[in-house]
Amino acid sequence: MQAESFPPPDRQLAKEKMRRRVLARRARLRPPDLQAAAVALRDVLLSVSEVSRAAVVAAYVGVGTEPGTGPLLDALRQRGVRVLLPVLEPDFDLDWAVYTGPDGLVRAPRGLLEPAGPRLGPTAVGTADAVLVPGLAVDRSGMRLGRGGGSYDRVLGRAAREAFRCAVLHEGELLDDDVPAQRHDQRVQAVALPSGLVRFPLARHENTLRA
Ligand SMILES: Nc1nc2c(c(=O)[nH]1)N(C=O)[C@@H](CNc1ccc(C(=O)N[C@@H](CCC(=O)O)C(=O)O)cc1)CN2
Ligand SMILES: Nc1ncnc2c1ncn2[C@@H]1O[C@H](COP(=O)(O)OP(=O)(O)OP(=O)(O)O)[C@@H](O)[C@H]1O
């Protein structure tokens, strides 16, 4: 399968090349496109049963040309959902704090917006019923390409087994080509695109490579 389609040292390079390609494509998105995508993603995700039923959702604050999450975060909070947001640590691990509204966010390094409130610790993501994951691309097996810090590979390892794991992407970022996979990479079970949700046929115990 895709696990062996690149020898290990080349997979890191292949990932880097894929990241650059996706980021160059994102750089062409204009503010009206980004706003429309954020609203469409809110509607798509609120219609997903695992999200609409969730008491606790781990999400992220989309920045720059990332798929926007502002409308979704506010809609979830208005429904009384406890929304957890990541705080980036120096070693690229993630801590978590509760979303209390746009005023509770502060600028952080790397262009990020992070929650200013009390830190809950890295294991807090284990309380989430749904984990919405940023990413640059996902392939048809649910293998995901992130920023390269390995943050979400760690996070998904701590999420509850039954948590709904969904990447949030722009249109065109669900790829037919394989995302180069490494042993530590964690799969997602679905992607949210502005055009709708795509689920992958993934057995729960099969979220990592066996190769
Ligand atoms: N919005 C958002 N929040 C997130 C993530 C993410 O991907 N998106 N993360 C996912 O793990 C964690 C932060 N990890 C990050 C790792 C690297 C870079 C990074 O390399 N930034 C570039 C600038 C990127 C750009 O302008 O597009 C840089 O600092 O040079 C950013 C975030 C937690 N919070
Ligand atoms: N569980 C882990 N603990 C510590 N480091 C890890 C873990 N998983 C991955 N890493 C490290 O993170 C680095 C980047 O991994 P990779 O390129 O797969 O990131 P990514 O999945 O694209 O990014 P992210 O998960 O942050 O979105 C690798 O050097 C890897 O060794």
Q: Which helix (H) or strand (E) holds 73?
A: helix 70-78
Predicted ipTM > 0.95 = no
Contact 145 CB / ligand 2 (< 6 Å): yes
CA 19-202-143 angle, to 5 degrees, is 10
pLDDT digits (tens, 9 = 90+) for 65-88: 999 999 999 999 999 999 999 999
Which pTM was predicted? 0.93
Task: For 127, list phi and psi in degrees, rounded to 5.
Answer: -90, -5
Q: In this predicted model, what pLDDT tens digit does every residue of 5-29 receive, in sequence order?
A: 556 778 899 999 999 999 999 999 9
Architecture of domain 2-201: 3-Layer(aba) Sandwich (3.40)
* The ligand 2 atom nearest the CA atom of 134: 27
The minimum-distance atom of ligand 2 relative to the CA of 184 is 8
How, if at all, do strands 94-98 and 130-134 pair? Answer: unpaired
Calculate ∠ Cα 109-120-159, nearest 5°: 95
Determine contact, residues 84/125, Cβ cutoff 8 Å.
Answer: yes
Where are the chain's structural domains?
2-201
